[in-house]
Amino acid sequence: MLPLPETPRVALTPAGLKPAELTPATPATAAAPAERVTTRQFLQLFSAVMLPMFLAVGDQTLLATATPSIAAELGGLRDTTWIALGYMIAMTVTAPLYGRMGDRYGRRDTLLVAMALFATGSLACGLAPNLGVLVAARALQGLGGGGLIVLSQAMVGELVPPRERARFQGYFATNFSLASIGGPIIGGLVVHHASWRWLFLANVPLCLLAAWRVLRLPQSADPAVNPLADAPGAVLFAAAAGVTLAWVSFAGHRFAWLSAPSLAMVLGAAALWWALVARESRHAEPFLPVELLRDPSIAAMAFTVICFGATMFSIVFFLPIYLQLAQGSNPSESGLLLLPVTIGIVVGSTTTGRLIARSGHPNAMPVAGLILAGAALGLLALLPLQRTLLAVLGFFGGIGLGTVMPTAQVVVQSLAGRARLGAAAAVVTLSRATGAAIGTAAFGAVIFALLPGNDPARMSALARQAVPDPAVPFAFRVGFGCAALVALGGAFAASRLRRIKL
């Protein structure tokens, strides 16, 4: 059986949570029972790190319904894509750095630095006089957002024993899902009743509240970690990820997939990734946590999370479009019809966390969950869909997807060990972001290539038709079928994990 890495136990003191002395690693079969985390400890930890994660994740999708209003006030409709892209690139490229910085300087204090950057960027966004300043402010906001996600996850690993982490990760997965799917709904309500600027200005007092809660958590650091030992690797990763995400966002919209700009970006991204992999594989202290990915189980879990991200974001972005084009729903109705998916994810993630906490066996949950999600997506591709059936299949698909993130965090953190909790959280965050970008681009390319016209005027005409064009349901059926195959691929990858007991 696999020996568990060293992990901290939780002790309750008058000050609250703090990591106690490390206990020697023991074989999984003979591990001592993990100390239970009390309700008081749970509330102290979860109330501190839940809000930073919600803010960072929600800002990925919050502006989906606000973009037209921003363009109407600031102009530059064609360039509003960079409002989302600037945030996504900054958040993605800083995730590994925050993981290393947290391991070296302490995750609590590094989280406070990330929160300060996020709040400053939010304030600048809310006061932006033009689109250029808004894009730059979004990038600054993203520089903090990457740390909010990574370090919030790492704090759980620092303060909670492995077996109990599953229970916490279930709540974090619920928080992530609510932020991702609830972002467009919240954004639409705020824009409708106030100004889009309040989507950013409201972050400032929320960050102050979160900082007050985080300050009550303990601090620990590992002076042996050198987060800036591979500065050229960090630059290469930023360039490679930036070019790749720009291509994913622009190809098929700003320029054709097989055009000269598209091919130039693909070749440039490939060269940068090749240089990065060549450097990181030889460097003694690489910027990317490649040492973790050399573990076959961590690599398999990372691929599972990529499949999860691709599947979930394909549902989040394309199910509302399907409802509007093929079912005649308005934008508000289509957003609300995502609620069954959200409820399913909440049920799946919380149930998964509790089952793993009781049994100590995490392996089976993502396999069964992704098979269930694949089956639901397969039925979306095959059955004549009415709204009731859509809601039922969305609910069960959400349950399946909800099993992945609680398991991923606890497995990767347990295999990585306490000294590399930040790097472990970075692996999961990068995998999820990669899956989201690939899924959105790939499924969008498949669906829009099959639709009878993909210009905005044609899309508006399709949405207004009393009887939908038969090509519309067919295009989305093919897309849902592809998503089902991706989910099943994730289930297969999860089945390759070696069996562990927490």
312/12: higher pLDDT: 312
Same domain, 343 and 459: yes
Same domain, 297 and 361: yes
With both helix axes pointing from N to C terminus, report the angle between 339-359 and 404-416 in degrees, rounded to the nearest 10. Answer: 40
Rg (CA), the chain: 22
Percentage of the chain beyond pLDDT 70 is 70
Q: How far is CA 178 from the centre of its chain?
A: 12
CA 441 – CA 437 distance, rounded (Å): 6
Same domain, 106 and 249: no
pLDDT at 67: 65
Average pLDDT over residues 73-102: 75
Q: Domain containing 93: what range? A: 39-222
Q: Is residue 33 part of a domain?
A: no
Instruction: Say whether pLDDT at 119 is over 80.
Output: yes
pLDDT digits (tens, 9 = 90+) for 23-55: 333 333 333 334 555 667 666 777 777 888 788
Same domain, 332 and 449: yes
- Comparing 301-305, 307-311, 350-354, the range with the smallest average pLDDT is 350-354
In Å, what is the CA distance from 212 to each residue of 3, 111, 207, 216, 300? 38, 12, 9, 7, 38
Per-residue pLDDT band for 151 (boundaries 50, 70, 90) equals: confident
pLDDT at 455: 47
7/455: higher pLDDT: 455
Indicate the DSSP class of residue 78: G
CB 162, CB 334: distance < 8 Å: no
Q: Is residue 131 part of a domain?
A: yes
Per-residue pLDDT band for 314 (boundaries 50, 70, 90) equals: confident
Per-residue pLDDT band for 78 (boundaries 50, 70, 90) equals: low
Q: Is residue 22 part of a domain?
A: no
Same domain, 236 and 375: no
Last residue of a domain, one of 248, 268, 286: 286
Picking from 191, 210, 195, the residue whose alpha carbon sits closest to that of residue 53 is 210
Q: Is residue 121 part of a domain?
A: yes
Q: Is residue 279 part of a domain?
A: yes
pLDDT at 114: 92
pLDDT at 14: 34
Same domain, 360 and 411: yes
CA 237 – CA 411 distance, rounded (Å): 25
Same domain, 471 and 385: yes
CA 152 – CA 171 distance, rounded (Å): 12
Same domain, 363 and 388: yes
Please name the residues in contact with 481: beta carbons below 8 A apart, sequence gap of 6 or more.
377, 378, 381, 382
Q: Is residue 9 part of a domain?
A: no
pLDDT digits (tens, 9 = 90+) for 7-30: 333 333 334 444 433 333 333 333
Q: Is residue 13 part of a domain?
A: no
Query: Measured between alpha carbons, how far apart are the two ends of the chain, in Å?
Result: 11
Same domain, 167 and 260: no
CATH number of domain containing 65: 1.20.1250.20
| Total number of domains constituting the chain | 3
pLDDT digits (tens, 9 = 90+) for 472-500: 778 888 888 989 999 999 999 998 887 77
3-state secondary structure 119-187: HHHHHHHHCCCCHHHHHHHHHHHHHHHHHHHHHHHHHHHHHCCHHHHHHHHHHHHHHHHHHHHHHHHHH
Q: Is residue 454 part of a domain?
A: yes
The two three-digit tokens of residue 152, written as one number? 């919030």
